[in-house]
Amino acid sequence: MAHKKNLAIEDPLPSVLEDNEAELDKENPQLGEQGSSQTEVGVRGPKDQRSRPGRSMRDEESEEEEKESVTSDEQSDTDLELRGEEEAYDLTGKTCYMKACEKLHVVPAFHFLQHIENSKLAMMHRGLGPQGTKALAVPLVTNTSILQLNLRDNWMEGMGGAAIAKMLKENCYITEVDLSDNNIGDHGARAISSMLKENSALVSLHLSGNHITDQSAEYLGPALTTNSTLQRLDLSYNALGERAGQTLGSSLSENTGLRSLSLAWNCIGGRGAVMLANGLGVNVFLRTVDLSFNGFGREGAVALGHALKENNVLEELNVSNNRIPAEGAIRLAVGLKANKTIKFLNIGRNPILSAGCCAILQSVQENSNSAMETLDFSDIAVNQDFEDLYTAVKELFPVLKVKHGGWNLGTFSQGKSRTVLL
């Protein structure tokens, strides 16, 4: 029975445990011999004690056979009972998990055992580490209860990220996964990319804050081209740069699944920003895109203007904190004149000045089919020209909300954020 339980652990995810099995063999090379010796001693003792004077050999043999028969029946019944209990218990994966923890020398997570049959498992900030994550992945291979898995901030590193990726190749029930802030790096990102080519169940994936660099771009790009079921992808707070922008831009032009994409807080600029914008221009599925805190600059803003002219699907766009100058905002506004779907635009905290704000607001005014509901110019001071313009625009779009950094006039304190209902 012990042999069967070991197989139950090793078969679903052999690569998770194989390294530790070798270590265990090195640490206990004579474990099997010791067990055999102890068994022989235990069996020999009772037999010797039954041989005593005053009894015939036939009586002793008869009594011994009777006891052995009873003992055999009892053991048989016990084995059946235990086998039934263990099989029923193993359906939850708890026994499998405990064995994995034992082999990997990690302390079992009680929270996991307590919620292993729930539809949502949230284990943030638990300090699982690479080994603890590997142990967790073993029972999840065959788990059919958990649909949402949140393992944020467990420092699983590349090894743990690869274990989760391998598990997701087999598990077809989990639809939402959050692996943010786990330092999975490029090693984990490559494993995740490979998984995305095979997994057809995952709908939402968060990889924020994982030190993923441009080295992963060549793997992430093809994965997004192949996968058509993933709808929400968060790659924010990583180290993706120009090369990643080029690769992701090319893949977005062919992707048919994503509805929401976050690349905030990366280093995408230059040619990467231009190609990413071009990819957005021809994508007909994305609804929400967050590109804040990158380096799009003038060239990226110009490319976004062309994209907005072509794209009539995108509804929310965040390009705040992208070093976009006034000229870039004016060129972006040209695309807004023809766009019919954008409802929310955040271009705040860019040096576009009041002139850039006016250009964007004017593009809404001149677009009778505009769907714009919110314009965010946070921390950008506006002047009298902007005030006159919004007075005129409010008659056409009475529900439009405009947020800016305050009025550049003597009667108002400059720099305070204000929201105006137009």
Q: What is the mean pLDDT of the chain?
A: 83
Q: Give 275-297 pLDDT, tens digit per residue.
A: 999 999 999 999 999 999 999 99
* Nearby residues of 336 by Cβ (< 8 Å), 6 or more positions away: 305, 308, 342, 345, 360, 363, 364, 367, 370, 372
39 pLDDT above the threshold of 50: no
Identify the band that residue 15 occupies on the pLDDT scale cut at 50, 70 and 90.
low
For residue 33, pLDDT beyond 50:
no
Q: Is residue 100 part of a domain?
A: no
Task: Please check whether residue 131 is in contact with residue 100, taking contact to mean a CB–CB distance below 8 angstroms.
Answer: no
Residue 381 located in a structural domain: yes
For 244-248, what is the mean pLDDT?
97
Query: Structural domain tally of the chain?
Result: 1
52 within a domain of the structure (yes/no): no
C-beta of residue 347 within 8 angstroms of C-beta of residue 290: no
Q: How confident is the model at residue 64 (pLDDT cuts 50, 70, 90)?
A: low
Distances (CA, A) of 285 to 225, 229, 230, 254, 312: 13, 12, 12, 10, 10
**Is residue 101 situated within a structural domain?**
no
Residue 304, pLDDT above cutoff 50:
yes
pTM reported for the whole predicted model:
0.79
For the domain that residue 343 is a member of, what is the CATH number? 3.80.10.10
What pLDDT does 187 receive?
97
Q: Which of 2, 15, 1 lies closest to 138 in space, CA to CA? A: 15
Give the tokens for residue 378.
């946070």
23 domain residue, yes or no: no
Residue 54 within any structural domain of the chain: no
pLDDT at 91: 74
User: Beta strand pairing status for 176-178 and 418-421?
Assistant: unpaired
Whether residue 103 is contained in a domain is answered as no
Q: Is residue 102 situated within a structural domain? A: no
- Containing structural domain, residue 196: 110-421
